Amino acid sequence: MAGLTLEHLYKRYDNSGKKKKTVNDYAVKDLNLVCEQGEFIAFLGPSGCGKTTTLRMIAGLEEITQGNIYIGDRLVNNLHPKDRHIGLAFEDYAMYPPLNVYGNVAFNLRAKGVDKNEIDRRVREIAPLMQIDDLLDKMPVKLSGGQKQRVNIARAIIREPELLLMDEPLSHLDGKARQAMRVEIKRLINKIRCTTIYVTHDQLEAMSLADKIAIINFGVLQQFGTPTEVYDDPVNEFVASFIGEPPMNILETTIAKINDKFFFTFKDSNLQIAVPKRYYSVVQDGFRCKMGVRPMDVLVGGPDSDGTPEEIATFENLGDERRIGIHVGDVLLMLITEDEKRYKRGDIIKLEVREEKTHLFDIETGDRIREKQEA
Amino acid sequence: MARITLENIRKAFGKVQALDGISLDIKDNEFFVLFGPAGAGKTTILNCIAGITMPEEGTISFNGEIMNLIDPAHRNVAMVFENYALFPQMTVYDNMASALRSKLYREDEAVIKERIDKAARMMKMEKLLERLPSQLSNGQKQRVAMGRALVRTPNVFLMDEPLAHLDAKLRNSMRTELKEMQANLGSTCIYVTHDFMEAMALGDRIAIINKGKIVQIGSGDEIYYMPCNEFTAELMGDPQINIIPAEIYKSGSGYGAEMIVNGSKVRHELPEDKGVFAKIQERGLVKVDLGIRPQHIKYAFAPADGYFKTTVYSYESIGNKSVITAECGAYQLRMIAPNGLNVDIDSDIYIKLELDRSILFDPDSKKYLTRYDEEAIKSFAVKEVQ
């Protein structure tokens, strides 16, 4: 096992073979990341953000345009994939159809010429871990998607890799199987404590599995932190709206000063939300920015509430919870209620916002506006 | 606008009985959801209504008029497909106008423009009308596909998983938008989905379909709170409901439930509920399956009164909350917890079931027996259908 270090990593796909001689933008731009030994890191981002490209560069399947990759202390830039001591598990299972599960799991070790008894010992050791002990004699066609993915992961970890790389291993599975498999992966990694890079576009998978999440957009690392950090303390609007379901409400706002107090005000809406005191040093009357607040931090006030009366535009009863949408200008502000009350469109509720939970973002760049730290 | 009635529809594809006696009565202006797992026959029902598929048996009628032999074009239905099916060479405007310009309708261009403008406003895509489909994102494409249906005044809108191709975030916001539009649709709508949140949020009524048969029809609340069997209970809710095998014993004037947790017996008094106790007595119930939703399990990390001990199987943070899974031997229990707890896998955890929220199922047939507060729940969940 070893840690992983990415230093100023760049990737630009070469377009020279094509007729149009346009210069591609970087698929990965100046990526720096240190992953400690035994950590589970998720690369999270929308499709096309460069997360898989990065993974493939780490695996050695893609050339590096610029920068360095270290596995442990070893610079692996020019190392052949087979010499990097990595285990790979892809989205599609790519199994050898004529071999049974045992044969598939043992394939790599056999190719390396590992002793037969040793192979058998390792297969028998890993099979119960991945719950495939009953499947060893089966052929791949007989397996369900979830079972195939188990075999696929078993095959990756049997090599006792220094680094385990997984590329959307759950995206082929349906909802229920995915949920079950997520739990299994979590337990497995907890047991073998192998340094793992896990690529996904599903924020829920990243949040539930990873020790740390690297959020990438347009090839640029946006934020690298624990799930709690990226959820509670996002660095910009992109991270804030990418993490969490339903996503954070983000509204354009103009700050107004009323009786020496600052309020968020919104175009075409009577809603006013007090600005937390800690932001007083960075805002002034007429300041324009974006305000973000998570749907769980918007509440329906009781009868004595002094919240703003607002009309319900949408009410969705989802069984486990209920979601209310309120028009603030042309944006729908979402909130979640867990009370059993059934509202309907047109009902008036008193809207309360947990002011201390609001975030401010720059209206142009989307960067977080933070309170000034005291010197 | 139409009332859609299906009577005993049967359809087989080779050896597979895709529809096995489907009868539905969908009211005028109702938003009706067909919900079930992949391969249940939901799309086949839709295709039968549209006239794309011919049923082997049974009748389909619109407002009492039998449609079986009417070809799809003359049924005046508007269909929205999962994969948009837009004409790639036409602008958004022309795509939306295509049906109205067809030989069948030949609407006036002025009328077409008026209708498209209205639909575009509703779908918030006024600025996209001159674009080609290739210049649109997936969410926008689906909007165009819906807009193309909305410009017409069909007997019924048929929507086949219109949001399934979209990513989770977009799907949620489109669902909310669709909900907002619902009141303005002005026509009957039949909506196919395999996403329980869509079904719950949108449907006036939901029909649960499995293996070509209707399992249950009811309002979202009715299906969520009074699922007719364990299959339906497990479909609604995420994480899914816990099903715990238990044995009923007599305890004083009431009853208790005995469960096996990691090999040892755990006994709980059943909270008093007239309906539940009457059912136990009347049916002489000994074995039941208790259905308890993840939000109705309490936990502690130190021994407490009424809590039983087990171990943590996994702890997953899912954004605004977390899911703890506890190992109980033959089954696992999922429960909702707040974020940021420091829970180690395989550590001890103490659990209390809120039995007064439980649903009782027959362990053999897996069918619904009764539940706590059945009367109170019926009063708001079960809506009369005229």
pLDDT averaged over every residue in chain A:
90
Q: Which amino acid is at A354?
A: R
Q: What is the pLDDT of residue A48?
A: 82
What mean pLDDT is predicted for residues A261-274? 93
- Within a domain: residue A374? no
Clarify whether residues A144 and A170 are in a common domain.
yes
User: Residues of B with CB below 8 A from A325's CB?
Assistant: 176, 179-180
> Tokens 């369900």 correspond to what residue?
A144
> Tokens 């109170």 correspond to what residue?
B376
Q: Is B373 on the interface with A (CB under 8 A)?
A: no
In chain A, the percentage of residues whose pLDDT exceeds 70 is 96
- Within a domain: residue A312? yes
Q: Is A342 on the interface with B (CB under 8 A)?
A: yes
What mean pLDDT is predicted for residues B50-61? 95
Q: Is A32 on the interface with B (CB under 8 A)?
A: no
- Euclidean distance between CA atoms B285 and B280, whole angstroms: 5
Residue A104 has pLDDT above 90, yes or no: yes
Q: Which amino acid is at B121?
A: R
**Contact between B319 and A228 using a beta-carbon 8 Å cutoff:** no
Residue A92 pLDDT level (bands cut at 50, 70, 90): confident
Q: What is the pLDDT of residue B294?
A: 95
CATH architecture of B4-229: 3-Layer(aba) Sandwich (3.40)
Q: What is the pLDDT of residue A275?
A: 94
Tell me the CA end-to-end span of chain A in Å, nearest whole number: 42
Q: What is the pLDDT of residue B39?
A: 85
Cβ neighbours for A52, distance < 8 A, ≥ 6 positions apart:
A167, A168, A199
Q: What is the pLDDT of residue B177?
A: 86
Residue B214 has pLDDT above 90, yes or no: yes
Q: What is the pLDDT of residue A28?
A: 93
User: Residues of B with CB below 8 A from A242's CB?
Assistant: 169
Clarify whether residues A104 and A54 are in a common domain.
yes
What mean pLDDT is predicted for residues B335-349? 89
Q: With beta carbons less than 8 A apart as the criterion, state whether B165 and B82 touch.
A: yes
- Euclidean distance between CA atoms A167 and A52, whole angstroms: 7
Three-class SS state of B267: strand
Number of domains in chain A: 2
User: Residues of B with CB below 8 A from A341's CB?
Assistant: none
B126-135 contacts at long range (C-beta below 8 A, 24 or more positions apart): B128/B92, B129/B91, B129/B92, B129/B93, B129/B96, B130/B91, B130/B92, B130/B93, B131/B91, B131/B92, B132/B88, B132/B89, B132/B90, B132/B91, B132/B92, B133/B84, B133/B86, B133/B87, B133/B88, B133/B90, B133/B92, B133/B95, B134/B88
Residue A17 has pLDDT above 80, yes or no: no
Clarify whether residues A309 and A184 are in a common domain.
no
Could you tell me the two tokens for A92? 């599609």
User: In terms of CA atoms, which chain B residue is nearest residue A185?
Assistant: B314
Clarify whether residues A49 and A165 are in a common domain.
yes
Residue A181 has pLDDT above 90, yes or no: no
- Angle between the N-to-C axes of helices A101-112 and A116-129, in degrees from 0 to 180, rounded to the nearest 10: 140
Cβ neighbours for A291, distance < 8 A, ≥ 6 positions apart:
A250, A251, A252, A253, A264, A273, A358, A359, A360, A361
Cβ neighbours for A370, distance < 8 A, ≥ 6 positions apart:
A282, A360
Q: What is the pLDDT of residue A16?
A: 61
Q: What is the pLDDT of residues B302-323, one digit of tens each?
A: 999 989 999 999 998 876 788 9
Closest by CA to A288, choosing from A259, A260, A256, is: A256
Residue B386 has pLDDT above 50, yes or no: no
Q: What is the pLDDT of residue B372?
A: 95
Q: With beta carbons less than 8 A apart as the criterion, state whether B223 and B34 touch.
A: no
Residue B290 pLDDT level (bands cut at 50, 70, 90): very high
- Euclidean distance between CA atoms B143 and B179, whole angstroms: 14
Q: What is the CATH number of the domain that holds A28?
A: 3.40.50.300
- Running DSSP on this structure, what letter comes out for residue B296? G
In chain A, the percentage of residues whose pLDDT exceeds 90 is 65
Q: What is the pLDDT of residue A23?
A: 64
Residue A357 pLDDT level (bands cut at 50, 70, 90): very high
Q: With beta carbons less than 8 A apart as the criterion, state whether B49 and B7 touch.
A: no
Clarify whether residues A217 and A276 are in a common domain.
no
- Within a domain: residue A197? yes
User: Residues of A with CB below 8 A from B175's CB?
Assistant: 316
* 3-state SS string for B222-263: HHHHCCCEHHHHHHCCCCCCEEEEEEEEEECCEEEEEEEECC
Q: What is the CATH number of the domain that holds A276?
A: 2.40.50.140
Q: What is the pLDDT of residue B327?
A: 94
**Contact between A245 and B169 using a beta-carbon 8 Å cutoff:** yes
Closest by CA to B174, choosing from A207, A238, A316, A370, is: A316
| Structural domain ending residue among the three candidates A218, A242, A266 | A242
User: Residues of B with CB below 8 A from A186's CB?
Assistant: 314, 316, 345
**Contact between A175 and B317 using a beta-carbon 8 Å cutoff:** no
- Angle between the N-to-C axes of helices A145-157 and A101-112, in degrees from 0 to 180, rounded to the nearest 10: 20
| Structural domain ending residue among the three candidates A208, A242, A276 | A242
In chain B, the percentage of residues whose pLDDT exceeds 90 is 72
**Contact between A246 and B345 using a beta-carbon 8 Å cutoff:** no
Write the CA distances from B160 to A172, A374, B34, integer angstroms.
21, 57, 9
Q: Is B58 on the interface with A (CB under 8 A)?
A: no
In chain B, the percentage of residues whose pLDDT exceeds 70 is 99
Clarify whether residues A156 and A290 are in a common domain.
no
User: In terms of CA atoms, which chain B residue is nearest residue A341?
Assistant: B380
Q: Is B229 exposed, middle or buried (0-12, 13-18, 19+ CB in 10 A)?
A: middle
**Which of A167-181, B186-200, B209-223 has the weakest average pLDDT?**
A167-181
- Euclidean distance between CA atoms A131 and A154, whole angstroms: 10
Residue A19 has pLDDT above 70, yes or no: no
Q: What is the pLDDT of residue B337?
A: 92
pLDDT averaged over every residue in chain B:
92
- Euclidean distance between CA atoms B138 and B83, whole angstroms: 9
User: Chains A and B: how many Cβ contacts under 8 Å?
Assistant: 99
Residue B385 has pLDDT above 70, yes or no: no
Residue B150 has pLDDT above 70, yes or no: yes
User: Residues of A with CB below 8 A from B172's CB?
Assistant: 245-247
Clarify whether residues A227 and A270 are in a common domain.
no
**Which of A4-18, A353-367, B257-271 has the weakest average pLDDT?**
A4-18
Cβ neighbours for A209, distance < 8 A, ≥ 6 positions apart:
A40, A42, A182, A185, A186, A189, A198, B316
Closest by CA to A271, choosing from A304, A248, A246, A249, is: A249
Domain coordinates in residue numbering, chain B? 4-229, 242-381
Q: What is the pLDDT of residue B72?
A: 92
Q: Per CATH, which fold does B242-381 belong to?
A: OB fold (Dihydrolipoamide Acetyltransferase, E2P) (2.40.50)
Residue B339 pLDDT level (bands cut at 50, 70, 90): confident
Q: Is A238 on the interface with B (CB under 8 A)?
A: no
* Residue range of the domain that includes A231: 4-242
Which position has the higher pLDDT, B174 or A100? A100
Residue B184 pLDDT level (bands cut at 50, 70, 90): confident
Residue A51 has pLDDT above 60, yes or no: yes
